[in-house]
A and B are shown apart, each in its own frame.
Chain A
Amino acid sequence: MTQNAENVLDHFELFRGPEYQQMLANKRALFENAHDPAEVARIREWAKTPEYREKNFAREELTINPAKACQPLGAVFASVGFEGTLPFVHGSQGCVAYYRSHLSRHFKEPTSCVSSSMTEDAAVFGGLNNMIDGLANSYNMYKPKMISVSTTCMAEVIGDDLNAFIKTSKEKGSVPAKFDVPFAHTPAFVGSHVTGYDNALKGIIEHFWDGKSGSEPKLEREPNDRINFIGGFDGYTVGNIREIKRIFELMGIRYTILADNSDVFDTPTDGEFRMYDGGTTLKDAADAIHAKATISMQQYCTEKTLSFIESHGQQVVAFNHPVGVSATDDFLMTLSRITGEAIPKLLEQERGRLVDAMADSSAHIHGKKFAIYGDPDLCYGLATFLLELGAEPTHVLSTNGNKAWEEKMQALFASSQFGKDCHAYPGKDLWHMRSLLFTEPVDFLIGNTYGKYLERDTGTPLIRIGFPVFDRHHHHRYPVWGYQGGMNVLVKILDKIFEEIDKNTNVVGKTDYSFDIIR
């Protein structure tokens, strides 16, 4: 018997005991109809070959371990960034259970969101009654200031018309006529979670700016000197938005963060559950029309939103998840150019500190090869930073990246001597990445939690940067934007590099001559 009360063994120790090992071996031998271990070994080796890679890359219809989610997840993420806003997803209810779980597993925070719980009868007759009842219930129970509606693929396939449904619901008294119910169609079979973010945010802004679905006059833009800021779908939203606010305040810029979910995904434990916290006020969302310019940190999260804003007369600028010195320089100089505010001394010092840190440590990163995967903008931002560290982002893969993204990535590679052997892979998944790592190995992999399977299979050490990160805690609280954010990313990368060197040099009397105390 291995278990004992004094020192309770967890699953990772318990099942290694001889009784369990024998039991599992017997199960396999007698009942599983398992393949011959030699055959398993042969296929395992074959799956590492260029021949397998070719087959793998010839796939046309099968997706294996994708690095993307579906639209409504992004819609929920954007919606909770508004004051007192309850996301309402019209369609099957299981989807909402999934979005809530997914976001909560990453942020270790509650995620409030409701569903219209459509079932078979709604599939036949449409979900109008679900919308009517659902809005009334949500409004009464959760006292939101706004309900932001998006859709699951079920509602999209049967063609439910949100605009008409919401109007009818208001006529039936589900919510007051003046109550804000912006909406966005977010079909899961188009784009990914970044598309859903874009659609939902555009839906909300359009609601406030363009007359609330014909119920009020459209707003007239009266330009002021404010700047709107959009973060995009971002696993680091808590740390990042706070860092951006600090930067704006240091520069003396008057700003509005649109979809500011930095507080709702970081509420205190003090005895009170806050279903809503912080967020862009509805007044600010409306007034954002008057701003001088809107800045998006992530181009591919905001394509429709920015073009909508631009059509209302604002200057718009999109970045690609800027990380590191040059990308942050560019961001700050753009801010300065648009607002006329100077970049303050403190930020210049922070820049100098990041450069200092990079200079101190670059010898350990220089020339190292990396594979990166994630959302298109994140991939771009991380690749930029690696290039300025003298590292090579050899494989950059984005399941939700498109042809235009690929060209942009290739142009980035072409701009640096360290990018000459680097390639971008749009629309590919982590099973493709597996083949890349076997056939063209790199030193490190950067990606989300799911990268741990690649780390296990290929031995490529994983640096966890991305979304979701389920198996490490609290990283979302630290920014990756701004010079401070660059510092955090640098340290994350360096920590892994040093840990790997230590791990590879710690065999007593064999390799530990290199087990250096100073690195």
Chain B
Amino acid sequence: MSLASTQSVAEIKARNKELIDEVLKVYPEKTAKRRAKHLNVHEAGKSDCGVKSNLKSIPGVMTIRGCAYAGSKGVVWGPIKDMIHISHGPVGCGQYSWGSRRNYYVGTTGIDTFGTMQFTSDFQEKDIVFGGDKKLAKVIDEIQDLFPLNRGISIQSECPIGLIGDDIEAVSRVKSKEYDGKTIVPVRCEGFRGVSQSLGHHIANDAIRDWVFDKITSETERRFEPTPYDVAIIGDYNIGGDAWSSRILLEEMGLRVIAQWSGDGSLAELEATPKAKLNILHCYRSMNYISRHMEEKFGIPWCEYNFFGPSKIAESLRKIASFFDDKIKEEAERVIVKYQPLMDAVIAKYRPRLEGKSVMLFVGGLRPRHVIGAYEDLGMEVIGTGYEFGHNDDYQRTAQHYVKDGTLIYDDVTGYEFERFVEKIQPDLVGSGIKEKYVFQKMGVPFRQMHSWDYSGPYHGYDGFAIFARDMDMAINSPIWKKTRAPWKDAPRPSLMAAE
């Protein structure tokens, strides 16, 4: 157990404030001033966490953030499985993001689905000099020729596209016309736009609005008969199957999921979503934009939910049911009761092994707050958290519904700050990404990747919670952490006398 849990809240707050002051000392003055606004100790009762967010990262500090392209291609668009997403520009962006997000899907890859493939226009110097529009037109032709079953194409702009003045919208219109109104979506998600992945999410949402919703035809409208219980899952990327272990609960309570955005999603599902009676939103950060749009344009209400851990799942199932009739409300209760024995068994097995353990998080999207309940279900405590690309509305939600008094908050944390914080606080577990994993493991601190679920998952839903609990136990209670120090380092030196 870490030191943290043996201290009073006042002591913790004082220590955290001291820690913040200490890390700021390393920076040049101007940088220290800017970083100071992103670090804070949470005060209970405040409406947000008292940090600035969604501002530019500072050069040279080793931010953990990515870019707009990562937010659009990597997060929002990439998982739409029956479309081909062109990484438009040089080869790298598509290469580094190829298949690494674990957006599970079912389909025949390369024939009717394309999720784990890397399509790129592989820009060369001549394309920079003369522009890439002709190339793009040809790329689309070649896709049509070789992948006749693709349902649509998106163009994910990399940095050079916006800089050299290419008109990908014009190419998209021409080609769409040429291919009988085919869905071809230009996305202006060049990596230099905005300050993080976040603007890429927004741009990608807007592209769905403008290039998918605005082109829905009567044919697509007729694909199925609506029912009063139709809902869409928004903002679940099906990492390790998360959306599936969520969908099953919604269906069990009598709802019909007509679309998944965007894990294991298809173009048809995007197009069908305006028929939903309720949009349920998991990752608020990446898909609140389109949810608001559907509310305004189609009058579809949306509600946020949290499927991490039994407490939040039950709360969320009830909240979702509250939008429907008594039949659904009763079914929701039945689902909660049905899974109670499984949850009891999971908690009985793992809670004694995890009780009182402390966690520090640094993730993106919804996770810096959403997973806190799941840890608490296991008797664990989140003592520090921060968002890679959150906005103030994320920190408001965090302050009002999730974190405890005295929690250390770090927005867009730098490599240096995160290391110092963990070194001083010595939590029992750190949850962050691949770039952070090995840093903390070297320090002897147990770690789980909370973007990719460390190649495990699903973590959503009741089925996912069992895996989550098992994984946290296996990280923290691995015998390896007792072996990081060579035994002779601690052993008393044999004296000369003894040697004789």
CB within 8 A of B125: which of A110, A123, A187, A272? A187
Q: Which residue of A lies closest to B473 (CB)?
A: A8
Q: Which residues of A contact B127 (CB under 8 A)?
A: 189
Q: Which residues of A contact B61 (CB under 8 A)?
A: 114, 137-138, 141
Q: Which residues of B contact A153 (CB under 8 A)?
A: 89-90, 92, 123, 158-160
Give A35 to B442 CA distance when docked, in angstroms: 49
Q: Which residues of A contact B223 (CB under 8 A)?
A: 31, 33
Are B97 and A98 in contact, CB atoms less than 8 angstroms apart? Answer: yes
Are B100 and A31 in contact, CB atoms less than 8 angstroms apart? Answer: no
- Residues 414-428 (chain B) with a chain A CB within 8 angstroms: 414-416, 419
Are A68 and B95 in contact, CB atoms less than 8 angstroms apart? Answer: yes
In whole Å, how far is B130's beta carbon from the nearest beta carbon of chain A? 12
Give A475 to B399 CA distance when docked, in angstroms: 45
Q: Which residues of A contact B159 (CB under 8 A)?
A: 91-92, 152-154, 157
Give A130 to B339 CA distance when docked, in angstroms: 53
Q: Which residues of B contact A20 (CB under 8 A)?
A: 244, 248
Mark B112-139 against chain A: 1 for CB-CB distance below 8 A, else 0.
1000111111111101100000010011
CB within 8 A of A24: which of B90, B164, B244, B345? B244
Are A3 and B119 in contact, CB atoms less than 8 angstroms apart? Answer: no
Also in contact, A44 and B108, with CB within 8 A (given A88-B60, A137-B31): yes
Give A5 to B351 CA distance when docked, in angstroms: 12
CB within 8 A of A97: which of B67, B82, B260? B67
Q: Which residues of A contact B259 (CB under 8 A)?
A: 31
In whole Å, how far is A380's beta carbon from the nearest beta carbon of chain B? 22
- Residues 359-418 (chain A) with a chain B CB within 8 angstroms: none
Chain A interface size band reads 35 or more
Are A190 and B31 in contact, CB atoms less than 8 angstroms apart? Answer: no
- Residues 31-69 (chain B) with a chain A CB within 8 angstroms: 31, 56-69
B373-381, B390-398, B431-439 - interface stretch: B431-439
CB within 8 A of A93: which of B57, B124, B470? B57
Q: Which residues of B contact A95 (CB under 8 A)?
A: 67, 92-93, 191
In whole Å, how far is B144's beta carbon from the nearest beta carbon of chain A? 10
B463 interfacial contact with A, CB 8 Å: yes
Chain B interface size band reads 35 or more
Give A130 to B272 CA distance when docked, in angstroms: 45
Q: Which residues of B contact A450 (CB under 8 A)?
A: 98-99
Are A270 and B135 in contact, CB atoms less than 8 angstroms apart? Answer: no
A64 interfacial contact with B, CB 8 Å: yes
B274 interfacial contact with A, CB 8 Å: no
B5-13, B22-30, B283-291, B295-303 - interface stretch: B22-30
- Residues 5-48 (chain A) with a chain B CB within 8 angstroms: 5-6, 8-11, 14-15, 19-20, 23-24, 27-28, 30-35, 39-40, 43-44, 47
Also in contact, A120 and B148, with CB within 8 A (given A20-B248, A33-B267): no
Are A31 and B258 in contact, CB atoms less than 8 angstroms apart? Answer: yes
Give A283 to B484 CA distance when docked, in angstroms: 33
In whole Å, how far is B416's beta carbon from the nearest beta carbon of chain A? 5
A residues near B, CB below 8 A? 1-6, 8-11, 14-15, 19-20, 23-24, 27-28, 30-35, 39-40, 43-44, 47, 52, 55-56, 59-66, 68-70, 72-73, 88, 91-95, 97-102, 104-105, 108-120, 122-123, 130-131, 133-138, 140-142, 152-154, 157-158, 187-190, 192, 267-274, 431, 434, 450, 453, 457, 470
A-B pairs with lowest CB-CB distance, top 3: A94-B67, A70-B92, A134-B59
15 contacts between A and B (CB under 8 A): A14-B463, A33-B267, A43-B111, A73-B92, A92-B192, A94-B68, A94-B93, A104-B435, A104-B438, A112-B415, A119-B193, A153-B90, A188-B90, A189-B124, A274-B442
Supply 4 further A-B pairs (C-beta < 8 A) apart from A8-B467, A62-B143: A70-B92, A95-B93, A141-B62, A157-B163
